[in-house]
Amino acid sequence: MNNTVLLISCPDTKGITASVANFIYQNNGNIEHADQHIDSQSDTFFMRIEWSLKDFKIEKDKIAESFKPLADRFKMRWALHFTDKVMRMAIFVSKYEHCLYDLLLRFKGGQLNCELPLIISNHSLAKETADSFGIRFVKFPIIKENKLQQEKREIALLKQEKIDLIVLARYTQILTKQFVEEFPEQIINIHHSFLPAFVGRQPYKQAYKKGVKIIGATSHYLIEKLDAGPIIEQDTIRISHRDSIDDLIRKGQDLEKAVLGRAVRWHLDRKILVYNNKTVIFD
């Protein structure tokens, strides 16, 4: 598969779809997927369009240049991706390994279109798992005093490894502003509650105490403010008074895996557009 994916957002006006579709058609491209959305509150146009490069008249490295005048005309924010250029993903993990394992198995099973060269942890526990999948494991122990310094070393390693996507698979350290700003819309977190309910620590305990009848999990892009970034995916499961906190944890972990798996997959397939701290998912 050798396709181009174009992601667009711009003020809505007449002629955007026609102009983009013409650009592709006149250069002999075959559209394989196209999806658009108009946010009527803000009059914003969003589009994801994917076409085959087979017989496309413009060379790959000239497409951006050719498309730019059209993009400028409509004041687009846009990004051009090629499906044969997969992202490089790093996974951060602490002590709970269920999300790590789930991502590794989805990766191994071909569900995640990426390279996976690196697992980072503040603990040693996940090393064995990383080893068994043949993936490099680097430990950065973190205490209050060394946090900024360790983060700098992590950033350097991530840059060196050309990492495009960082997945926090139940990573318990709160990343600082310096780290988050280095990777805008490139860090996906899983929070084990139905956000915005139960922000912060021990959401299952909070849920148990509150007596909710349904629990959830939320995957979102990390921003500096805790558990407040654009939500990518959520899911919920029914609980009852019979469920202990341990039952909530067990049921919730299945949700976490499913929700994070879908979010990562959509990101890797370039199916997400962020605006207004929200997401458009072209699934």
Query: Does 277 help bind a second copy (rule: CB under 8 A)?
Result: yes
* C-alpha separations of 112 from 87, 102, 167, 258, 279 in Å: 10, 11, 13, 13, 20
The Cα 240–Cα 208 span in angstroms is 10
The 116-135 site mask, x for binding a second copy (CB under 8 A), equals ----------------x---
Please report how close the Cβ of residue 44 comes to a second copy at its closest, in angstroms: 11
Residue of 2, 124, 146, 276 interacting with a second copy (CB under 8 A): 276
Query: Does 14 help bind a second copy (rule: CB under 8 A)?
Result: yes
If the CB atoms of residues 15 and 117 are measured against a second copy, the closer one turns out to be 15
Catalytic residue among 131, 227, 235, 247: 227
- Kindly report the number of other CB atoms within 10 A of residue 275's CB atom: 14
The Cα 93–Cα 168 span in angstroms is 6
Locate 194 and state its tokens.
Answer: 């139905």
Query: Does 3 help bind a second copy (rule: CB under 8 A)?
Result: no
Query: Does 204 help bind a second copy (rule: CB under 8 A)?
Result: no
Asked if residue 117 lies in contact with residue 88, where contact means CB atoms within 8 angstroms, the answer is yes
Which DSSP state fits 169? S
The Cα 269–Cα 79 span in angstroms is 13
Query: Does 240 help bind a second copy (rule: CB under 8 A)?
Result: yes
Return the active site residues: 227
Binding residues for a second copy (CB under 8 A) = 14-15, 17-19, 21-22, 24-26, 28-41, 98, 101, 105, 109, 111, 132, 194-198, 210-214, 216, 230-236, 238, 240-242, 244, 250, 254, 258, 261, 276-281, 283
